[in-house]
Amino acid sequence: MSIRDILLNKTPNNKYSEIEYTPKEIMCMKYAPVTSVDVERSFSRYKAMLRPNRRHYTFENFKLYVVSNCFPHEDYDESE
């Protein structure tokens, strides 16, 4: 049973006993975003990366680009 079904009151045969969430948790989910900004931002980055006018973009360059952009905000600790 999905959260969407619960919020829209579309539970099959009103089987509310199978709901794994408390009423408070269900009410909190009402205002949860469907997508996140981080996901949208990553789609935008990859769309720019995979444009058709990138003719000299080899698979090796693609791997390096992905690795360097996976964790752009991670702090690097040289002591480790």
Query: Residue 20: what pLDDT?
Result: 76
What is the per-residue pLDDT across 43-56, written as a single tens digit (0 to 9) for each? 777 777 777 777 77
pTM of the entire structure?
Answer: 0.31
Q: List the one residue out of 64, 66, 35, 31 whose CA is nearest residue 48.
A: 66
With cut-offs at 50, 70 and 90, classify the pLDDT of residue 1: low
Domain regions of the chain by residue span? 1-32, 37-70
Helices (H) and strands (E) in the chain, counts: 4, 0
d(CA 10, CA 71): 40
Whether residue 60 is predicted with pLDDT greater than 80 in this model: the reply is yes
For residue 78, give the DSSP letter.
T
Place of tokens 């089987």: 15
